[in-house]
Structure 1
């Protein structure tokens, strides 16, 4: 569906650790752009409804984190997890999950998610506007492969998961490396 599409130009407002800052919160604001994350790299981007939620915290994020080296061996430079959560929440979730490899991208206002056509209302869960669950392989800012969960809609009564799983992306990468049969 979105294969071949160029990613939207967005500025993300992030908080980064700065050891020159004293006190209990040694972080500063740093704006990063779509190009900062995606230009000149082949990456996996996966987006999910919310940090600290069950499927995201139990399966999807740990699955990408635990298989980071296997993805690198398949030609992936970075793995990014995005959610319509602010930088404070995403950083805390990354710490809570013990992330060493996957990097989080806060889409606090949902601008990137909206421009990707993936912003949905999850008021039925008390979330408000959030991302539909999807994953993509991005090559230099262009969607190489797209993995969207079925049933995209506002206030979906289900939380489908499988198409955007790390296992499914790995299967895709392995099949893409198979020599063609004559």
Structure 2
């Protein structure tokens, strides 16, 4: 996706904790839209192939969590991780990683990812349709900066990771801030 493009409007089906719900699973469905997540604020969005996968669980998501405060210093108000996984999987993954700062967005049907042009087949890994790895700084629903891994393709033999790493993005944001300083 190019910079200065508006994110596609979709509705995400999420599960949120609600103590008024009886039983051992106190969650309820809540629809959230693109505007709910990305409107009226400057945020970091990153997307990855899947919850509980090695690179995503060992490096990418944990490093965004660790560097969250550094993103705030660059004017980022929230950090969102999106994956083509359902709300149950995303909630379990967040709990397993003990996330406190990064928020997870379930794109269970892949609608947002498809409309972003980032939906790829990963049948070679037994995944089906998933997101290509990318990140974006989004300001009021519009892409301000775009970081996409090379080689976007179906059934890619490799899993490139570097361009969309939090370390790379922070370095780019710091350079941009210095370049735009008076």
Q: Where on the TM-score scale, by shorter chain, does this alignment land: which range?
A: over 0.9
Q: Partner residue of 1:5?
A: 5
TM-score, normalization: structure 2?
0.98
Alpha-carbon separation, structure 1, partners of 2:38 and 2:180 = 29
Q: Determine the structure 2 residue equivalent to 1:53.
A: 53
In the alignment, what sits opposite 2:119? 119
- Map of 1:29-68 to 2, 5 A cutoff? 29-68=29-68
Which residue number in structure 2 is paired with residue 162 of structure 1? 162
Structure 1 position 8, deviation (Å): 0.2
Tell me, in whole angstroms, the C-alpha distance in 2 between the residues paired with 1:179 and 1:140.
22
Q: How far apart, CA to CA, are the structure 1 residues paired with 2:173 and 2:20?
A: 42
Q: Distance in 2 between matches of 1:79 and 1:120?
A: 23
Shift of 1:94: 0.4
Change (3 A) 1:180 1:30: closer
The number of residue pairs the alignment matches comes to 182
Structure 2: tracts of 5 or more residues without a match: none
Rounded Cα–Cα distance in structure 1 between residues aligned with 2:97 and 2:13? 21
Aligned CA-pair RMSD: 1.3
Q: List aligned pairs for 1:1-182, cutoff 5 A.
A: 1-179=1-179
Deviation of 1:22 (Å): 1.5
Once residues 92 and 15 of structure 2 are traced to their aligned partners in structure 1, the CA distance between those partners, rounded to angstroms, is: 11
Pairwise CA distance, 1:32? 0.3
Which 4+ runs in 1 deviate beyond 3 A?
Answer: 179-182
d(CA) in 2 for partners of 1:67, 1:112: 26
What SS class does the counterpart of residue 178 from structure 1 fall into?
helix
CA distance in 2, matches of 1:33, 1:43: 15
- When residues 180 and 36 of structure 1 are mapped into structure 2, their CA distance, relative to the original with a 3 A threshold, is closer
1:136 and 1:166 map into 2 onto residues whose CA distance is: 11
Separation of aligned partners in 2, 1:14 and 1:181? 40
TM-superposed CA distance for 1:139, in Å, is 0.4
Cα deviation for residue 181 of structure 1 reads 9.5
